[in-house]
Amino acid sequence: MRRAAGIDVGGTTIKGLRLDASGRRFPGPVPVPTPTDEAALVDAVAALARELGEPRVGVCVAGIVDETRGVALSGSNLPWRDSPLRERLSDAIGAPVALGHDVRCGARAEARWGGHGGVRFLYVNLGTGVSAVTVTDGEPASGPWHGEIGQPLVPDPADPTSLVSIERLASAEAVTRRYADRSGGLPSAGADVVFGRLAQGDPVAAAVVNEAVSALAQCLAFTVAATAPEVIVLAGGMAQAGSALVEPLSGRLESLLGILPRPRLVVSRLGPDAEAMGAAALALSAD
């Protein structure tokens, strides 16, 4: 059966896997940190592709991506602007590369193998940033700026006189950083540590998570009004908190929806592999 390598370039790490056409996953190498320099990042992706050893390669990246032209337009957490990334990666790897946006790739994989292909759903990634995409009849909405729900500015709960983007409040990176700022902890500890402290009754963790949930619920309420999904699928690092995130978020969202229908809120069945799986699927469909 045909297989492809799928590589997910996130704001924090680069990870890869092998995937066959049935959706069966084959583990890849240990993830590596994402370089802050574009040339070094391209080299790191090429090295990982060689290690995975498949003739078909799909790569998905965070930021604003024009999938049609293969251009990475910008990235708040990644080092490019108007970069012909598909061409650069193909040259470095020595083979054609299918390039996609990370959240649209994750949504494609979720529609195909996550059990939501028959419904209209909103796929929300909570990782280094916050982004989303609507999926109808198994196809994610297109357009480089679609779903950048983490970019609008809202008052910062810690300083209501200043504005901050939603992803600076509600992403996994934001939860980790804001907890470290208030507790004196290590920013590298991870959102899972913050949720662990929440379970232990830590009031600082409770405040930080509450702020994240509030910002995300407000953002999702307007997104639901505009897109009318039947299901909201949470993915990315912070989604791994499971019920500790889903239950308060669901309750807060329901309180904001007024007369609107309530979508079901679930965690992705594909876990942190969804984006890389979608990238590999792009490569398989390019034949």
Instruction: Indicate the pLDDT class of residue 247, thresholds 50, 70 and 90.
Output: very high
Residues 12 and 53 in one domain: yes
Please enumerate in sequence order all residues whose Cβ is within 8 A of that of 85, keeping only pairs 6 or more positions apart, or say none.
Answer: 42, 61, 65, 70, 71, 72, 99
Residues 72 and 143 in one domain: no
CB 138 within 8 A of CB 112: yes
Residues 49 and 158 in one domain: no
Segment 231-241 shows an average pLDDT of: 94
Low-confidence winner among 10-19, 72-81, 150-159, 238-247 (lowest mean pLDDT): 72-81
Structure confidence at residue 130 (pLDDT):
94
Half-sphere exposure of 106 (CA within 13 A, CB side): 34
Distance between CA 214 and CA 144 in Å, rounded?
A: 27
Structure confidence at residue 187 (pLDDT):
64
Question: For 118-148, what is each residue's pLDDT tens digit?
Answer: 889 999 999 888 999 999 998 999 888 888 9
Question: For 22-52, what is each residue's pLDDT tens digit?
Answer: 999 998 898 999 888 889 999 999 999 999 9
Residues 93 and 15 in one domain: yes
Structure confidence at residue 77 (pLDDT):
64
Instruction: Indicate the pLDDT class of residue 11, thresholds 50, 70 and 90.
Output: confident
Structure confidence at residue 195 (pLDDT):
95
Domains in the chain, number: 2
Question: For 168-216, what is each residue's pLDDT tens digit?
Answer: 999 999 999 999 999 887 666 789 999 999 999 999 999 999 999 999 9
Residues 80 and 23 in one domain: yes
Structure confidence at residue 144 (pLDDT):
80
Residues 154 and 235 in one domain: yes
Distance between CA 97 and CA 91 in Å, rounded?
A: 9
Structure confidence at residue 186 (pLDDT):
66
Residues 188 and 256 in one domain: yes
Residues 72 and 101 in one domain: yes
Residues 127 and 153 in one domain: yes
Percent of the chain's residues with pLDDT above 90: 74
Would residue 107 be called left, alpha or beta, if left means φ above 0 and alpha means ψ between -120 and 50 degrees? Answer: alpha
Residues 90 and 164 in one domain: no
Segment 258-270 shows an average pLDDT of: 95
Please enumerate in sequence order all residues whose Cβ is within 8 A of that of 245, keeping only pairs 6 or more positions apart, or say none.
Answer: 195, 209, 213, 234, 238, 239
The boundaries of the domain holding residue 214 are 117-268
Radius of gyration of the chain (CA): 18
Residues 211 and 249 in one domain: yes
Write out the E strands in the chain.
3-9, 13-20, 25-27, 32-33, 57-61, 64-66, 71-74, 81-83, 97-101, 121-126, 130-136, 139-140, 153-156, 159-165, 231-235, 264-267
Q: In this predicted model, which residue has the larger pLDDT, 26 or 81?
A: 26
Residues 173 and 244 in one domain: yes
As a whole number, the mean pLDDT across the chain is: 92
Beta bridge pairs of residue 6: 17, 58
Question: What's 244's domain CATH number?
Answer: 3.30.420.40
